[in-house]
């Protein structure tokens, strides 16, 4: 091996980590995967839901603009956000400005994640309400006809209360649940038809064909995608933002579009 080959190899070993860091820090976190899902339900009307989770908004930039563009294109009937909208800098002003730009005929709905608890302040709930976002915290609201939306507090940092949350939901209603940490799925009952959760980030930093290196407390046995059965199903989103490390690797951010269609 001559001196030129040795120099090339040396620079290659320096170049590869730099390119990997650029990809993981700037490219993949902004390369949003719009996943589409069809779920059959016993209801006469179809419904399109946009499921967002773990936004972790620090400021408003390219990723936030891309999310709004996707929502504009997909035209969901309702936008459901399963917690951790705020980041460690507690910039609720940026969160409220971002959420104010979201619109859907049946509203924008949100439940608290662990970061909403850890970075709570006296104005956070007011800011959310002031931009037209419905906060569901151990409570339920009718979404459409006999479809009810139930939001539960986060198990990791809050106090979920199933009895209180389901109190107003009539028997026989199609019940859609929202909570942040998916481990709580093992405590819910058959009154739910579909549940949406987040929190795991899908692992955020992965290697192909290997399980995640680390999942946050409250993930349980869940990582990403669908769990449960035809009676009670849960979808766990990989989320859209980053936590702890501002990188993603082989685990693209996800915005899920879930079409509820009549089971004929």
Give the model confidence (pLDDT) of 94-137 as tens digits: 999 999 999 999 999 999 999 999 998 777 787 788 899 999 99
| Residue 254 pLDDT > 60 | yes
Q: What is the pLDDT of residues 94-106, one digit of tens each?
A: 999 999 999 999 9
**For 202-212, what is the mean pLDDT?**
94
Q: What is the pLDDT of residues 20-53, one digit of tens each?
A: 899 999 999 999 999 999 999 877 788 999 999 9
Distance of alpha carbon 1 from alpha carbon 69, whole angstroms: 52
Residue 121 confidence (pLDDT): 77
Residue 12 confidence (pLDDT): 60
Residue 206 confidence (pLDDT): 95
| Closest of 225, 162, 182 to residue 82, by C-alpha | 182
CB under 8 Å to 81, separation ≥6 — which residues? 52, 53, 55, 99, 108, 109, 110, 111, 133
What percent of the chain stands above pLDDT 90?
76
**pTM (two decimals):** 0.94
**Who has greater pLDDT, 149 or 89?**
149
Which residue segments constitute the domains of the chain, with CATH numbers given?
A: 31-262 (3.60.21.10)
Cite the DSSP H helix spans in 149-244. 162-166
| Torsion from C-alpha of 39, 163, 124, 224, nearest 10 degrees | -30
């Amino acid at each position: 091996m001559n001196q030129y080959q040795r120099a090339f190899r040396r620079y290659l070993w320096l170049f590869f980590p730099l390119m990997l860091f650029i990809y993981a820090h700037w490219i993949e976190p902004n390369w949003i995967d719009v996943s589409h899902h069809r779920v059959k339900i016993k209801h006469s009307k179809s419904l399109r839901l946009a499921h967002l989770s773990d936004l972790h908004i620090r400021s408003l930039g390219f990723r936030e603009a891309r999310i709004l563009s996707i929502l504009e294109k997909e035209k969901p009937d309702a936008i459901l956000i399963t917690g951790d909208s705020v980041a460690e800098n507690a910039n609720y002003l940026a969160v409220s400005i971002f959420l104010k730009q979201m619109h859907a005929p049946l509203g924008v709905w949100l439940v608290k994640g662990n970061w909403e608890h850890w970075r709570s302040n006296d104005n956070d709930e007011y800011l959310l309400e002031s931009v037209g976002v419905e906060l569901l915290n151990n409570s339920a609201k009718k979404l459409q006809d006999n479809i009810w939306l139930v939001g539960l507090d986060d198990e990791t940092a809050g106090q979920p209360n199933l009895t209180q949350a389901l109190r107003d939901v009539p028997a026989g209603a199609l019940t859609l649940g929202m909570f942040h940490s998916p481990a709580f799925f093992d405590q819910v009952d058959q009154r739910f038809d579909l549940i949406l959760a987040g929190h795991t980030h899908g692992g955020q930093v992965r290697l192909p064909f290997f399980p995640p290196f680390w999942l946050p407390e409250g993930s349980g046995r869940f990582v990403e995608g669908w769990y449960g059965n035809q009676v009670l199903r849960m979808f766990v989103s990989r989320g859209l933002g980053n936590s702890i490390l501002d990188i993603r690797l082989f685990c693209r951010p996800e915005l899920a579009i879930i079409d509820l269609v009549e089971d004929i």
